[in-house]
Structure 1
């Protein structure tokens, strides 16, 4: 993870220094513990390693991930809480979904952890609650107004490596 971040940071230094400056410092052990405790999950090691390099971004520059904000541990909790409130309020009852292979046939799971945000209610999530044929920690899409749920990668490490390879 560190090597990929070094590659991306070198590219950002030349091509988008304001975005590089917008990245937060590393998440602390306390930040990670708070995140896991409030979410009620154990986060995948590869994602934790990522947060220990940069704990998301501040939000004062362009977004890092393909027109989506890289969420800090606090922003993850904020976005997750919005979805949890909607779930608890019954907003997803009867909602039709089109899950890809290995993804639960539900609108949202408390074990789908958003780590990007596009400003319109859509996310990429760590799927810590896969269906048979899926993998814990796979990356899936979550659209606020569309029931299509697709797998983007088998793990955060694979997704991030592909992102860095395409970008830098």
Structure 2
């Protein structure tokens, strides 16, 4: 099952990178047996089988990669260990008795536990962990989200395998999408909400002014691509449709630094 998940994950990342040539969604080669043995010894834990199998295939995302998980990086074993050690230091240095915590029934309501293995980090101090110390209602190896912005500890899935399957399916169904603005994979609903909020603040343009702008843009396309250039509708379809006969021309125009053409995608006005 893990092997199948890995193949699906690679395939969907490759598809995204083909559609978004400037994206960087790169995975490390798998960890060696020696690395796996050493990390488990250092953390004094035994990884569940699915976690070991997953890291044998990929040791997290590459250092130059954008986020391959939803709004978060996939940590290599070395980064997992470094973060775990950092949290161990913090938990021994701080008093947490007065901190209000909220936890699902399956998760211990603790500030931190040394049997929580962080494999994903959103860069804001919130982690997705393999939980090797569940509550009486939980299961060994379940996946939990440990948040320090609101002090919630939530159950995400009953196993890494189940969590990965849900994540990859969301990518395949475009519920998660690539966003250069957010530095990698993001929940599409969040992006749509941001677009709706931004559109509400944009000034309107009169139909006449919009027609003038369309004419200017079409002239720019002809200047960039020569006679036989696609019209604006064909251009946009070329960017969205892999099989469009205008795909190459659309991508050529999209990567142009011509200021007038850039307005087509970065316009500060709403179409009437």
* TM tier, smaller: over 0.9
**Which structure has the greater CA radius of gyration?**
2
Q: Distance in 1 between matches of 2:163 and 2:133?
A: 18
4+ long deviations beyond 4 Å: none
Q: Distance in 1 between matches of 2:93 and 2:149?
A: 17
Task: State the Cα distance separating 1:39 from its structure 2 match.
Answer: 1.0
Corresponding residue number in structure 1 for 2:14: 13
| Cα offset, 1:67, TM superposition | 1.2
Find the counterpart in structure 2 of residue 33 from structure 1.
37
**Alignment RMSD (CA, Å):** 1.3
Bigger fraction of residues in helix? 2
Gap regions ≥5 residues in structure 1: none
SS in 2 for 1:141: strand
Using CA pairs below 8 Å that are at least 6 residues apart, which structure has the higher relative contact order?
Answer: 1
Shift of 1:91: 4.1
Name 1:96's counterpart in structure 2: 100
Cα distance per residue 1:33-52 (max 9 Å; x no partner) = 11111111101110111101
Using the size of structure 1 for normalisation, the TM-score is 0.94
Structure 2 unaligned runs (5+)?
Answer: 173-272
Q: How many residue pairs get matched?
A: 167
Q: Deviations over 1:47-101 (max 9, x none)?
A: 1111011000123121111010000000000111111001111243432211101
Q: Distance in 1 between matches of 2:102 and 2:130?
A: 18
